[in-house]
Structure 1
């Protein structure tokens, strides 16, 4: 009886610690409750063993949270296969291109041959097509990696694998980039279907005042 009890106590302590830090699950690990398909039905998104995956086939262009978020600290893990492509939308509306009308934090197999000619602001961790990651710290395709996105007012910071790669000032960026989403201060959080498989887990959010 000791081992099961210790395991229960461990998970209780972990969940209690997360709650103490103000983080709440954005994905429950069981189904798509709290999410909705955009641009089609979410038939191409599956949940199994705590992992949220996209097949890359036809269906929803992306899935969005049912709630909108303005200032937040978002943490998740992602796994992208060889030559895979996805993204995390933030402060996005459901109308128009989410990466333009909102913002996209890129998720990519940075080492994929398919992407060797991309511009710096198109690699993992970038504010897509706006600000490139300061460092390239991604792991090989098929490995689990961490992403953290913190948005507060006009500041947007991104970490990949615990290394800060973007320190974004949206006011300054909006002066040099004609992208409406840089001026948005609230919207939906979303996960992109970009015609390739992708896997997400442990998606948590902390709402900032």
Structure 2
């Protein structure tokens, strides 16, 4: 059993140069939280060993840190294991049935084929904030069976992560400006007991901080309400809903915003509860402007049993008695709304291309009904379309391809010539008679 001395190695003065926070010989300034995995020191390296029957374990700093740049190296055994580096995190000693719960942002260490090492996971709370589906080029940064170099920049509300000098994640958050740093040994099934993760050369800087410049087109997860960061502005992202009024939006059948059925309040645009009918109350709303290639992101919150959608390439040329016709990113309470069991192979469930392609949802992709989810639709100039849910890629297809045309021919859209193939169209928020909230609607036009 390890005994930890009190924090004699921690520093109280803000450091303008890097200092080690692990002395290479002792665990002074560190303590174990949560599970009881085995931590030892071998030749100046912290070795965490995965043991049988224990929850996630964390070797944590006794000190909390606010703004900092953290650098270290890690190595992990196997391809089925997992680990992580907690930053600005918290500890609830009563959590996890009294075993203690560490929660907060984590740089994930994932040696599996998924290759999300360097992404940001919110341990014990919000799940994935920045999976590497959002930065696919960074999935090659991790080096198996050797030490990897990490740089974590936590300044103000933003965290940026670099793995082996490659940028892997950028998150602007509204939670946790201060907290512990911790090294995770993940719980594992019996077949992985004994696998190890290694950490060394752990050092920190807490003053005279500056971000390393990101690539201009790198996607930023910005969780501030209706906010566009300087990095997003440089990449060409603009608010599509300003959080204040209906500027840029109108009814599908009028030149003004609906006079009923919709509400703009507290930075949200909300379709109000009616009779559950399709576009029978306030009617759908569309953007004034039409778009061709674009990167659209939005947050949405469903109420129990709700149905709605975000449509794109809406031309208003198709005749229909209900909602306007367009390609649709489905928004649905899959458990309580009957539409989830209709269609084919789940192609009417959350984040699907409605009635055409089911979303292949990762088990942790959707957030519970009543919580905010993040949707994203990317349409590149070559007509490749991708849907994301909370940063996880759930489907992709090419507009106008033979495969797309075949899907349309077997769907409810077969009666409209060249459905979904318009050169440009409006973006639409659907009124389906259920209460649904939207915010952080942003767009970047692609060329």
Distance 1:175 1:99 in 2: 23
**Residue 117 of structure 1 pairs with residue 341 of structure 2:** yes
Q: Verify the 8 A CA contact 2:236 2:444 in the aligned structure 1.
A: yes
Q: Write the deviation string for residues 112-138 of structure 1: whole angstroms up to 9, x where unpaired.
A: 254452341101111110111122532
Distance 2:290 2:314 in 1: 9
Change (3 A) 1:28 1:128: same
**Residue 19 of structure 1 pairs with residue 233 of structure 2:** yes
The offset of 1:102, in angstroms, is 2.1
The offset of 1:24, in angstroms, is 0.2
The offset of 1:100, in angstroms, is 7.6
4+ residue stretches of structure 1 with deviation over 6 A?
none
The equivalent residue for 1:201 is 439
Distance 2:263 2:323 in 1: 23
TM-score (normalised: structure 1): 0.86
The equivalent residue for 1:70 is 292
Change (3 A) 1:100 1:48: closer
Q: Write the deviation string for residues 127-179 of structure 1: whole angstroms up to 9, x where unpaired.
A: 11011112253221101000000012321100001110011122121133234
| Deviates further, 174-183 or 161-170 | 174-183
**2:396 aligned to 131, 143, 167, which one?**
167
**1:81 aligned to 303, 324, 339, which one?**
303
| Deviates further, 171-180 or 41-50 | 171-180
Unpaired segments of 5 or more residues in structure 2? 1-155, 158-171, 173-223, 275-279
Which structure has the larger Rg? 2
The equivalent residue for 2:191 is none
Q: Verify the 8 A CA contact 2:298 2:438 in the aligned structure 1.
A: yes
Change (3 A) 1:89 1:202: same
| Greater relative CO (CA pairs within 8 A, separation 6+) | 1
| Deviates further, 93-102 or 194-203 | 93-102
The offset of 1:104, in angstroms, is 0.9
**Residue 48 of structure 1 pairs with residue 287 of structure 2:** no
SS in 2 for 1:177: helix
What aligned pairs does 1:70-149 form with structure 2 within 5 A after superposition? 70-95=292-317, 96-97=319-320, 101-112=325-336, 114-115=338-339, 117-119=341-343, 120-135=346-361, 137-149=365-377
**Residue 157 of structure 1 pairs with residue 373 of structure 2:** no
Q: How many residues align?
A: 201
The equivalent residue for 2:281 is 59
| Deviates further, 168-177 or 96-105 | 96-105
Q: Verify the 8 A CA contact 2:303 2:369 in the aligned structure 1.
A: yes
Q: Verify the 8 A CA contact 1:92 1:99 in the aligned structure 2.
A: no
Q: Verify the 8 A CA contact 1:73 1:149 in the aligned structure 2.
A: yes
The equivalent residue for 1:29 is 243
Q: Write the deviation string for residues 69-104 of structure 1: whole angstroms up to 9, x where unpaired.
A: 000000010000111000001010124349784211
Change (3 A) 1:117 1:101: closer
TM-score (normalised: structure 2): 0.42
The equivalent residue for 1:3 is none
Change (3 A) 1:177 1:118: same
Change (3 A) 1:164 1:147: same
The equivalent residue for 1:188 is 426
Unpaired segments of 5 or more residues in structure 1? 1-5
Query: What RMSD, in angstroms, separates the aligned Cα atoms of the two structures?
Result: 2.4
